[in-house]
């Protein structure tokens, strides 16, 4: 049965199906909250209607598998959701079935390679990571990026809520949190104050290790907060605790690398980042936990301490940049990460354009040199000219540039029309007086003819064609006798 797709979901599904029809394994990049499982199910359903073969969904977390199986069932798909950690798979048509890898930035890991050894049919990779390097790795194992959805676009369209970032007043880092109870206690107090100041209802807290997470949870409970801690060993009570959190019976859920992926609780309106990372992918996954929409929810508060360890370089706004060279600056106090991301994207684009123009300028100058043209700055220096100041910024015309080239001078992009007129007049005057050309003067000056700009065309031709390497005194006597 399924559900009606959003506009971008429909575009993504069609792009993936088109790639599959051409025997290309597609990569779909979509942020947390974009509805990756729904898109995966739609791809499987439509592909299955054509090929009448089973489809299989692979993920590495139980939460992802349960969600995927429920969605596949609602679409009426013949297939099953599998864990990538299984050693063997009871499945039909392993050589021809369609496989979909969720959170596929892990696809280069050994567990995913094990899946690919069992299933030989076509495959689709879906990932939320914005990290370009991950996409490169995925392409190296046979996937081609056919569609990307930007997190900023989803926010602007109202499919995700807007982020608000608040730098905490305390200065902490991983090793301080682990080693000093006072620092951890002060951080807990500060988090609680901000949580209530911004009238939040539910928070998820990411911490560096089990001990620190357990301590932080205990401190929150001591301060009267309904809080719980979960980590990879909390298998017995995990489901019950998660259900309590989703029902609103727990306000803070502390965890260690547990809910960065595949955890869906739209009511989360506060994300607390108390662990360091250099991974933009992980950073995005953590912040993404709080961006899903829910009734009455207008934004998500991101609480982020001013870490001083020197190892952390990412800021909340880095999640929302679109330019791979954009680097966001730390914003003290409350800030708008979307606005900061747009500013840094624009600056990164300006830097790129400036760099490309510089490269183009160098390439153009090199090409001009190969054609025997004299660079403008060299020509001006050789003849002792002083270009007039810029009275307007009107660029030189194409005809002016062409005329300068005929006069053997290469005019760079920045020369103005008034400067071009000045130089053309001077060079044409030299031509009328029968003086040496720019190319002749440059050639002679390379071999010590300091007054070559005073030579006539014939004198310069004679010097170049006969004895331009002779003794300096003899040279001048012979040329000017």
Confidence bin at 310 (pLDDT 50/70/90): very low
The string of DSSP codes covering 366-425 is HHHHHTTPEEHHHHHHHHT--PPP-SS-PBPPHHHHHHHHHTTEEPPTT-BHHHHHHHHH
Q: What is the per-residue pLDDT for 97?
A: 94
Q: What is the mean pLDDT of residues 292-299?
A: 94
Under 8 Å between Cβ of 328 and 165: no
Report how far residue 392's alpha carbon sits from residue 383's, in angstroms, rounded to the nearest whole number.
24
Residue after which a domain boundary falls, among 88, 115, 149:
149
The alpha carbon of 320 is separated from its chain's Cα centroid by a whole number of angstroms, namely 9
For residue 472, the model assigns a pLDDT of: 46
CA-to-CA distance for 169 and 198, rounded, in angstroms?
Answer: 15
> How far is the C-alpha of 294 from the C-alpha of 301, rounded, in Å?
14
b (16+ CB within 10 A) / e for 132-155: eebbebbeeeebebbbbbbbbebb
Q: Across the chain, what does the average pLDDT equal?
A: 84
Q: Is the pLDDT of residue 474 over 70?
A: no
Please indicate, yes or no, whether residues 215 and 104 belong to a single structural domain of this protein. no
In a domain, 359, yes or no: no
51 & 76 share domain = yes
352 located within any domain: no
| Structural domains counted in the chain | 3
Residue 355 placed within a domain: no
Domain that includes residue 169, residue range: 157-347
Confidence of residue 178 (pLDDT cuts 50, 70, 90): low
Q: Examine residue 47 and state whether it is found in any structural domain, yes or no.
A: yes
Pull the structure tokens for residue 216. Answer: 């932080």
Residues 319 and 414 in one domain: no
- Are the C-beta atoms of 59 and 103 separated by less than 8 Å? yes
- 373 and 450 together in one domain: yes
Residues contacting 375, CB < 8 A, separation 6+: 365, 368, 369, 409, 410, 412
Same-domain pairing of 94 and 221: no
Q: Clarify whether residues 141 and 167 are in a common domain.
A: no
- Burial classification of residue 47, based on how many CB atoms lie within 10 Å of its CB (0-12 exposed, 13-18 middle, 19 or more buried): buried
332-342 confidence digits (pLDDT tens): 888 999 999 99
- Shared domain for 319 and 395, answered yes or no, is no
**Range 324-338 average pLDDT:** 86
Entry field: residues in the chain: 481
Phi/psi of residue 180, each to 5°? -125, 115
pLDDT, tens only, 194-206: 999 999 999 999 9
Domain-terminating residue out of 299, 315, 347:
347
Same domain for 191 and 313? yes
Return the sign of the alpha-carbon dihedral for residues 61, 63, 64, 70.
positive
Average pLDDT over residues 184-196: 92
**436 domain-assigned:** yes
- 1 domain residue, yes or no: no
CATH code for the domain in which residue 310 is found: 3.40.50.300
Burial class (CB in 10 A: 0-12, 13-18, 19+), 412: middle
User: Mean pLDDT: which of 206-210, 225-229, 467-471 is highest?
Assistant: 225-229
């Amino acid at each position: 049965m399924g559900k009606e797709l959003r506009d971008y979901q429909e575009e993504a599904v069609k792009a993936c199906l088109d790639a599959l029809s051409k025997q290309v394994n597609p990569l779909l990049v979509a942020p947390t909250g974009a509805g990756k499982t729904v898109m995966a199910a739609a791809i499987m359903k439509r592909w299955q209607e054509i090929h009448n073969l089973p489809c299989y969904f692979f993920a590495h977390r139980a939460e992802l598998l349960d969600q995927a199986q429920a969605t596949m069932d609602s679409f009426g798909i013949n297939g099953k959701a599998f864990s990538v950690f299984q050693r063997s798979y009871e499945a039909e048509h392993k050589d021809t079935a369609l496989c979909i890898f969720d959170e596929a930035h892990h696809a280069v890991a050994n567990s995913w390679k094990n899946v690919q050894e069992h299933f030989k049919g076509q495959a689709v990779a879906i990932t939320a990571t914005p990290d370009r390097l991950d996409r490169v790795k995925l392409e190296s194992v046979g996937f081609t990026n056919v569609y990307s959805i930007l997190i900023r676009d989803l926010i602007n369209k109202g499919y995700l809520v807007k982020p608000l970032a608040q730098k905490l007043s305390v200065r902490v880092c991983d090793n301080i949190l682990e080693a000093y109870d006072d620092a951890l206690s002060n951080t807990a107090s500060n988090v609680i104050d901000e949580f209530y100041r911004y009238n939040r209802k539910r928070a998820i807290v990411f911490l560096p290790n089990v001990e620190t997470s357990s301590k932080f949870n205990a401190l929150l409970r001591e301060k009267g907060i309904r809080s719980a801690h979960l980590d990879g060993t909390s298998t017995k009570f995990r489901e019950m605790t998660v259900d309590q959190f989703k029902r609103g019976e727990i306000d803070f859920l502390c965890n260690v690398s547990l809910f960065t992926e595949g955890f869906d609780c739209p009511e989360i309106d506060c994300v607390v980042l108390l662990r360091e990372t250099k991974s933009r992918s992980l950073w995005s996954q953590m912040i993404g936990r709080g961006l899903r929409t829910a009734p009455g929810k207008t934004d998500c508060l991101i609480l982020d301490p001013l870490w001083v360890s020197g190892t952390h370089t990412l800021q909340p706004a880095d999640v929302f940049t679109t330019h791979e060279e954009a680097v966001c600056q730390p914003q003290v106090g409350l800030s708008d990460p979307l606005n900061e991301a747009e500013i840094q994207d624009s600056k990164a684009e300006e830097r790129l354009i400036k760099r490309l123009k510089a490269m183009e300028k160098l390439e153009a100058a090199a090409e001009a040199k190969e054609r025997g043209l004299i660079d403008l700055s060299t020509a001006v220096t050789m003849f002792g000219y002083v270009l007039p100041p810029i009275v307007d910024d009107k660029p030189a015309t194409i005809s002016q540039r062409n005329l300068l080239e005929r006069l053997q001078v290469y005019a760079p992009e920045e020369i103005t029309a008034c400067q071009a007129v000045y130089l053309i007049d001077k060079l044409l005057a030299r031509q009328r007086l029968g003086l040496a050309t720019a190319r002749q003067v440059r050639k002679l000056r390379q071999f010590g003819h300091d007054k070559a700009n005073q030579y006539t065309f014939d004198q310069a031709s004679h010097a170049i064609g006969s004895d331009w390497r002779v003794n300096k005194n003899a040279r001048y006597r012979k040329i000017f006798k």
